[in-house]
Amino acid sequence: MNIYNSSQRITEIDALISKGFQKGYQMPFACLDDLYSVKLGATSYYCGHEYSGKSEFLFERDVWLSKKFGLTHCIFSPETGNVDDILCEIAHKWIGKPLIGPFKVDEKSKYKALQAISPYFHIVSVDKEVSLKQIFTMVDEYEKKMGININTLTIDPFNELQWDMNGLPRDMWLENTLGDIRRQARQRNKHITIITHPIESDRLYHKDGYMLPPTRKQYAGGQAWARKGESMVAIWRPPHGQKDTDGIPFEDNECHIIVQKSKPKGTGQLGLGILYFDYKRSAYFEYVAGSKYYAGEYYDSQEYKTIKGLDVKDNEPF
Residue-wise pLDDT tens digits, 140-165: 999 999 999 999 999 999 988 888 77
The model's confidence at residue 55, banded by pLDDT at 50, 70 and 90, is very high
**Residue 174 neighbours by CB under 8 Å, 6+ apart:** 221, 222, 224, 225
**pLDDT tens for residues 14-34?**
877 777 678 999 999 999 999
Determine contact, residues 220/198, Cβ cutoff 8 Å.
Answer: yes
Q: Tell me how far the alpha carbon of residue 165 is from its chain's centroid.
A: 27
- What is 40-293's CATH topology? Rossmann fold (3.40.50)
Yes or no: say if 285 and 292 are a contact pair by the CB < 8 Å rule.
Answer: yes
Task: Round to whole Å and give the CA distance between 199 and 315.
Answer: 38
Q: Domain residues of the chain, as ranges?
A: 40-293
Q: Cα–Cα distance between 259 and 261 in angstroms, integer? A: 6
Q: How far is CA 34 from CA 29, 31, 46, 156, 272, in A?
A: 10, 8, 18, 25, 10
Helices (H), 147-278: 170-188, 224-228
Ranking 38-52, 109-123, 209-223, 237-251 by mean pLDDT, the lowest is 209-223
